[in-house]
Amino acid sequence: MVEISLNDIKKSFGFNNVLDGFDLEVNTNDRIAIVGKNGAGKTTLFKIITGSETVNSGIVSIRKGSKIGFLEQIPTEYDSNLTVNDVLMSAFNELILVYEEMQKLENEMASNCSDIDKVMVRYGKLQDDFINKGGYDMDSNLSRICSAFNISSDMRNQLYSSLSGGQKTLVHFAKLLLEQPEILLLDEPTNHLDIKTIEWLEEFLKSYKGTVVINSHDRYFLDKVVNKIALLENGKCTLYHGNYSYYIEEQERELLAEFQSYKTQQKQIQAMKDAIKRYRDWGNRSSNEKFFKAAANLEKRLERMEILDKPELQKKKLPLNFQQNDRSGTRVINLDSIYMAYGPKTILNGIDFEIEYGENVCLLGDNGSGKSTLIKIILGDVVPISGAVNIGTNVKIGYLPQQLSFEDENISILDEFRKHFEGNETQLRAVLAKFFFNGENVFKKVNKLSGGEKVRLKLAELIQKDVNFLILDEPTNHIDIDTREMLEEALLDFKGTILFVSHDRYFVNKLAKKIVEIKNANITTYLGNYDYYIEKKTAIIAPKEYKKR
């Protein structure tokens, strides 16, 4: 059954054609991801489906009776007097009304009303509706969702307006799942979630009794959840029947096929040019007009031929060629019995931790487990209650924080970069061009940059410093998949040491050679990538589960 039908949709903002003949059908129980570069129109597409954005032309059809739940990137606002619990309980408004009506009818039946048969019939219908919509499961569902999203009882009593943007998004997401709409539209659902919560969400969505449409840059998440990929490119849709890895394989196959077609056509063009040259040569030798006519006919065929563009087989790369005049010593950093607490809560309980030159180390842990605190201790921004931080010989740190900021965001990219660059204007602009800031784009204000552009600019600035130890706190937040892939390749080429925090498991899997998990204020080290870490964790848990049986 078709839940959403988009036919020949055109949508423009001024002279910018965001959607230009977009076609897509979403069927019941589809798990479909909309992928494309930042600015391609994914969020606009979601708003068109919900009806909050109109189209210039085309037909939008939603199955009659289907309720749409939309998780937006910008947190939803509610009345400033509402608590978190009020917001969550509003998911059950319809059920609560049914329950109140049932109670009213129960009172009537208890008072031996004159029209008892009619009341009982009405009560039976309401009770069936209440049961079918999960009325008797309200409390258990609320408890389950709150537990999964780490929404504590204390947090439920807080005013919603007092929450951070990330917390508001979590609460709105929890409310959305409690409503159980027939169609879920999720715009970057894994933002603000730790890995444990993302894994729970994956299982929840795989068994969800409804249709799910997702916009996400989390490739590992897409591999686990979706069964279709809709590529939004140049305002149009290309559909792939599989998960993200299948989509990548198909794209590579298509690209190779395009390149083969290009090579075949180039051979044909060259053969035709050679034939034209021969016909003219023979015509000049024999003074035979037929040879010149044959050459002219081939030239006309060449003119009418639709010339294929050469496909770009090599992906764009970020040139992270750090000038490491002196590498660090073998021991980059050593943490000795670090103890840190905030009030009565112990964050790090006497941990020992060492990183050696050339290692790519990922810090994993739930939100609030102490990852960012540990990084701040290493950077010297936070002093531990006890323990020592020993930085190795000739270690020069470059830091990419989670929240990227610049001293003055009202200046241009060019002026911002000039603060960190020694050289003339031509050299400066040449370096910026390598980070895809070209032409007039260098005059763009820093406060107008996207997340990916800010990451690129900060990396361009870091490269001007003689660093050999990179510390990255959630470097893939708010950047699209293309930029993530460029960042991965650049960091794999980096000839120094990397310590990073990330909940992007695809990124962790590709980059990490060591996983350090922070849990219950202690650390456990796994000598491998994310898949190895999961394999070892599963092996530890499995025997315990077996003994229980």
478-508 pLDDT, tens per residue? 788 888 888 888 888 888 899 999 989 999 9
The lowest-confidence range among 21-30, 384-393, 481-490 is 481-490
Q: Who's near 140: CB < 8 A, 6+ residues apart?
A: none
Contacts with 139 (C-beta within 8 Å, 6 or more apart), sequence order:
none
Spatial separation of the C-alpha atoms in residues 384 and 343, rounded to whole Å: 13
**Torsion over CA of 526, 224, 141 and 47, rounded to 10 degrees?**
130
Question: Which ranges of 380-529 would DSSP assign to H, the alpha helix?
Answer: 413-418, 425-434, 451-462, 481-493, 505-511
**pLDDT grade for 540, boundaries at 50, 70 and 90:** low
- What average pLDDT does range 302-328 have in this prediction? 76
- Helices 425-434, 451-462: axis angle to 10 degrees equals 130
Structure tokens at 460: 């361009």
**DSSP helix/strand/coil, 186:** strand
Q: Is the pLDDT score of 220 beyond 90?
A: yes
What integer pLDDT is reported at residue 542 of this predicted model? 54
Structural tokens at position 270: 């060259």
The tokens for 79 are 């009345």
Q: Which of 63, 405, 64, 38 is nearest to 232 (CA)?
A: 38
Token output for 396: 């020069």
Per-chain mean pLDDT for the chain: 89
Average pLDDT for residues 218-223, to the nearest whole number?
Answer: 94
Looking at per-residue pLDDT, the higher value among 313 and 55 belongs to 55
pLDDT reported for residue 549: 41
167-212: pLDDT as tens digits:
888 899 999 999 999 999 999 898 888 888 899 999 999 999 899 9
Cβ pair 379, 362 in contact under 8 A = no
Q: How confident is the model at residue 543 (pLDDT cuts 50, 70, 90)?
A: low
* pLDDT, tens only, 324-368: 556 788 899 999 999 999 989 999 999 998 999 999 999 999 888
pLDDT band for position 322 (50/70/90)?
low
Tokens 């999964």, residue?
A: 148
> Rounded to an integer, what distance in angstroms lies between the CA atom of residue 145 and that of residue 143?
6
Least confident range from 158-167, 325-334, 385-394: namely 325-334
Rounded Cα distance between 162 and 452, Å, is 29
Residues 87 and 79: their CA atoms lie apart, in Å, by 9
Q: Strands 2-13, 16-27: parallel, antiparallel or unpaired by DSSP?
A: antiparallel
C-alpha–C-alpha distance, residues 477 and 471, integer Å = 15
Q: pTM for the complete prediction? A: 0.80
**Of 211, 192, 91, which is closest to residue 144 (Cα–Cα)?**
91
Under 8 Å between Cβ of 417 and 464: no
Q: How many residues does the chain have?
A: 549
Encode 256-289: b = buried (16+ Cβ within 10 Å), e = exposed.
Answer: eeeeeeeeeeeeeeeeeeeebeebeeebeeeeee
Residue range 401-432, pLDDT digits in tens: 888 888 899 999 999 999 988 888 888 998 88
pLDDT for the residue 546? 45
Cβ burial of 211 (10 Å; 0-12, 13-18, 19+) is buried
Write out the H or E segment, with its range, that includes residue 519.
strand 514-519
